[in-house]
Amino acid sequence: MLDSSKPDGATLLSELPVYQRETREYVNSLVAGMGAADVTELTSDASNLIVGTDLSENSIEVVKYSGAASLQTITGGYNGMMKVFILQTDTIDIVKGSLTTGGEIHLNSYNNLDGRAGDVIALVNLGGDPGASINGYWQELYRTLAT
């Protein structure tokens, strides 16, 4: 953790490179800890996707998603995990859930998403803990609809 009290008003100009190096090392360690985003091509007709089987266990994943599905749940995710779905077909719907358990999907609209090829939707898991068999739920961060 960086010390927010340094450098202070009494720090000599010659000491600033030390703080710059510490800051760069800390930022680089944070970026390295995030890992690279996976890009997965997924064809599925299932109403439930499983992290570790259908989706990667990485904290950030881009999913090129095709099939004919009414996606209702994503199980096995952990708190803070993010999935960005890019729909490849007009036959995928994202179903709006209402529970904060079971891996349900909370959309920012009142209705299900009637997906079209090119639509993008990003979801983040809240409350998931696979070690304790808790799925939490997936909150929509944003969506971009194809025109």
Separation CA 72–CA 96 (nearest Å): 7
| Res 35: pLDDT | 65
Separation CA 114–CA 59 (nearest Å): 26
CB 124 within 8 A of CB 138: yes
Low-confidence stretches of the chain (pLDDT < 70) are 1-2, 31, 33-36
| Res 18: pLDDT | 81
For the stretch 70-111, pLDDT in tens is 999 999 999 999 999 999 999 999 999 999 999 999 999 999
